[in-house]
Amino acid sequence: MATRTIGENVTTTTTGVRRKTFSETYVGEWITTTDHKMIGLMYLITGFFFFVVGGMEALLIRTQLAEPNGKVLSPDVYNQIFTMHGTTMIFLFVIPVLSGFGNYIVPLMIGARDMAYPRMNAFGFWMLLFGGIFMQSSFIFNQAPNGGWFMYAPLSEITAGHAYLATPHMNADFWLLGTTLLGISSISGSLNFVVTIFRLRAPGMSINRMPLFTWMILVMSFLLLFALPSLTVASGLLLLDRHVGTHFFDTAVGGDPLLWQHLFWSFGHPEVYILILPAFGMISEILPVFSRKPIFGYTFIAWSGVAIGFLSFTVWAHHMFAVGLPSVAQAFFATSTTLIAIPTAVKIFNWLATIWKGKIRFTVAMLFALGFIAMFLIGGLNGAALAVVPFDYQVTDSYFVVAHIHYVLFGGTAMAVFAGLYYWFPKFTGKLMNEKIGKWQFWFIFIGLNVTFFPMHILGIFGMPRRVYTYPGNMGWNELNLMASIGAFVLGIGVLLFLFNIVNSLKNGEAAGDDPWDAYTLEWDTSSPPKKYNFLEIPVVRSRRPFYDKKYPEIADWKSVIH
């Protein structure tokens, strides 16, 4: 074979040697890439970076609240920090990380060479990065958004959180523009996913045979496409109110603050299902592999995801039970919220049936997946409790809600993200993550999460409202707050272990091979990391577990079941 290299700046061709083009340099390759795998990695790295930012904000909050009459943060700073904690975690951690997994894995799972619109894929990532940088830059001006992550009007209309200052500050503007940029990113990503999943599946892979993670990404994409317009409109109206002199949310002249709430939650509720459905998908991939069984009730899990998607548009006002809606409306939303709990329950039972009579292997990915079921169940139960309207009157806007959101988002989505990373890291990098460190991480996270968030149920019942920068010492809330703060630092240690594990495994990880877990879906039928073209030849699929069929042809699924 002729000699290959050469030097840093040149490359060989058949006719000789030439300077590398920009896209062939290391930096240029990342900046101009349209390869779904590289874009997926960029999403993941960005998402995990913002996870650390949001996590530090959380630790600041918990330090301030560890004791009554805390003096760690002034109320103005506290209000910026808690707003940015929520905003960063939701828009800059969960969505990018889930998109990152989707981007990397979905084309591989469906046997495609790339997404349908590779340049738009890249565009989506860069919008996310700039949107994130733009929003975080608000701290430099000391005008980080400070109206809570849902920016209720008219508070967000007025100023830096106070009705009597003459000049509007830009806090809310950073939020509004930032989320619009991020919305553009999500919309372009969603369009891409929908077209890719509908059009680029391998021969033989009907919709009913595609992996559940792909199903959930599809539903998530539809939800994003239908929900983001509400947020964009609401943000547009608020920007107009703030800068042009309109009065959409200003009652003195005929507007209505509740308009913001209805518009926001029409986005906000589907948004939370956007945050959890891909996590459901990942768990549905991981549990079967480490129980050595197929997923139980594939059709039911898939369609319950679709049902959740549809129903998520009918429940938004359960975030508004205390605003004084008429009783009929309250009853309607209580009913729709009750209905949405049913498909969720169906999923949990199907997952439990998957591991039943299986052969459970306790890798770190499996530990996180099992932990997900345990914690998400709690989140689902306290969520169903919040749907009980009279009870909600007492505990809404209190720490009970904070407990709920963190059990579903941390105990749910974040655990699934950790599971997914431990599961797919070998595929992304060709190296295994260290299982021992991973197990320590799991226990720190699991214990930390419960110690932090379980007491918040009780704080809510004890009457502690949310979003308070401090509290007096004689309310009876002191010990529980201290407990939650200690738990937060335990969680912090877990996250540090996680980051250490990633860095360490990249350098010293054991070689993984193509299929370290003996898995079932097509993404494992590639090298680790996959070649740029993914598959040497596009496979033909005959069942829901095409790689399993290929490895075990005698007991292949297509021989025993008709799908």
Partner 1 sequence: MSQEQKDRVELQQSVDSVNPVTPPPDSTSSETQAVQSEETAVLEEPGQGQESVLSEEQSERPRTKKRVRRRTKLVNVEEILPHPSLWPLALAVSVAIAMFGIIAGPIVCGIGVLLIIVSIVFWSVERR
Partner 2 sequence: MRMPVFSRTKRWLALLGCVLLSSILLSACGDEASTSILNTAGPVAADEKVLFYVVVVLAAVIFLGVEGWLVYSIFRFRERPNTPNPYQNHGNLFLEALWTGIPTVVLFILLFFTIRGLLQVAPEAQPKDANTVTVEAVGHQWWWEFYYPKYNITTADTLVIPAHTTIHVDLFSNNVIHSFWVPNLTGKTDLIPGHDNTKWFIADKNGTYTGLCAEFCGTQHGNMRFEVKAVNTDSFQSWISTQQQTAAAPGNSLAQQGQAIFKNQCSTCHGIVGVDVTQFYNPQQFCNDSLGAGHNYPTTDVHCLIGPNLTHFGSRDLIAGGVLTNNSQACNPTDPNIMKDCHLAQWLNDPQGIKPGNDMNIGQLTTDQIRQLVAYLEGLK
Choose one: 146-154, 196-204, 403-411, 412-420; the region binding partner 2 (CB under 8 A).
146-154
- Does residue 471 belong to the site contacting partner 2 (CB under 8 A)? yes
> Would you call 269 a catalytic residue per the annotation?
yes
186 given a catalytic annotation: yes
* Residue 361 designated active-site: no
* Residue 392 binds partner 2 (CB under 8 A): yes
- Return the ∠ at Cα 270 (arms to 45 and 317), rounded to 5°: 140
* Residues between 158 and 197 with contacts to partner 2, criterion CB under 8 A: 158, 161-164, 166
Listed ranges 180-188, 202-210, 262-270, 388-396: which one lies at the site for partner 2 (CB under 8 A): 388-396
The yes or no reply on residue 518 touching partner 1 (CB under 8 A) is no
Among 179, 450, 505, 534, binds partner 2 (CB under 8 A): 450
Active-site annotation holds for 67: no
Of 195 and 377, which has the nearer Cβ to partner 1? 195
Strand partners, 100: none
Q: Which of residues 125-164 bind partner 1 (CB under 8 A)?
A: 125-127, 129-131, 134
Judged by beta carbon, residue 242 or residue 269, the one nearer partner 2 is 242
283 binds partner 2 (CB under 8 A): no
Whole-number minimum distance, CB 185 to partner 1, in Å?
A: 8
Active-site annotation holder among 284, 312, 396, 413? 284
Q: Going by C-beta distance under 8 Å and a sequence separation of 6 or more, which residues neighbour residue 158? A: 165, 168
Which of partner 1, partner 2, none is residue 203 near (CB under 5 to 8 Å by kind)?
partner 1
The yes-or-no answer on residue 126 being catalytic is no
Residue with tokens 């998402």: 47
By three-state DSSP, how is residue 531 classified? strand
What is the dihedral sign for C-alpha 220, 222, 224, 226? negative
Cα distances (Å, whole numbers) of residue 162 to 135, 159, 247, 461: 21, 6, 18, 29
Instruction: State which of positions 56-115 bind partner 2 (CB under 8 A).
Output: 74-76, 79
C-alpha–C-alpha distance, residues 557 and 208, integer Å: 14
Q: Considering the rule CB under 8 A, would residue 311 count as an interface residue with partner 2?
A: no
CB contact at 8 A, 542 and 204: yes
The item of partner 2, partner 1, none sharing an interface with residue 463, based on CB under 5 to 8 Å by kind, is: partner 2
85 tagged catalytic: yes
If one asks whether residue 538 binds partner 2 (CB under 8 A), the answer comes out as no
DSSP assigned state of 476: S
DSSP state of 433: P
State the DSSP string of 378-416. HHHHHHHHHTSHHHHHHHTTBHHHHHHHHHHIIIIIIHH
Whether the bond between 154 and the residue before it is cis, its omega within 30 degrees of 0, is yes
Tokens (6 digits) for 236: 């547009």
Among 150, 153, 348, 119, residue whose Cα is nearest residue 238: 153
- In the numeric block, the tokens 């960029």 are attached to 42
236: exposed, middle or buried (Cβ count in 10 Å: 0-12, 13-18, 19+): middle
Binding mask 185-214 for partner 1 (x = CB under 8 A): -----------------xx-----------
Q: Return the range that interacts with partner 2 (CB under 8 A); candidates 231-239, 377-385, 402-410, 428-436.
A: 377-385
Tally the residues of the chain.
563
- Which of 4, 359, 436, 507 is in the footprint of partner 2 by CB under 8 A? 359
- Clarify whether 319 is annotated catalytic: yes
Show the tokens assigned to 387: 């749907």
Using DSSP, state whether 215 is helix, strand or coil: helix
The question of whether 266 is a catalytic residue gets the answer no
> Catalytic site residues?
85, 114, 149, 185-186, 269, 271, 273, 284, 318-319, 344, 347, 466
- Residue ranges binding partner 1 (CB under 8 A): 1-2, 4-6, 11-12, 14, 20, 22-24, 28-29, 31-35, 113-114, 118-123, 125-127, 129-131, 134, 170, 173, 177, 180-181, 184, 202-203, 239, 243, 527, 531-533, 536-540, 550, 553
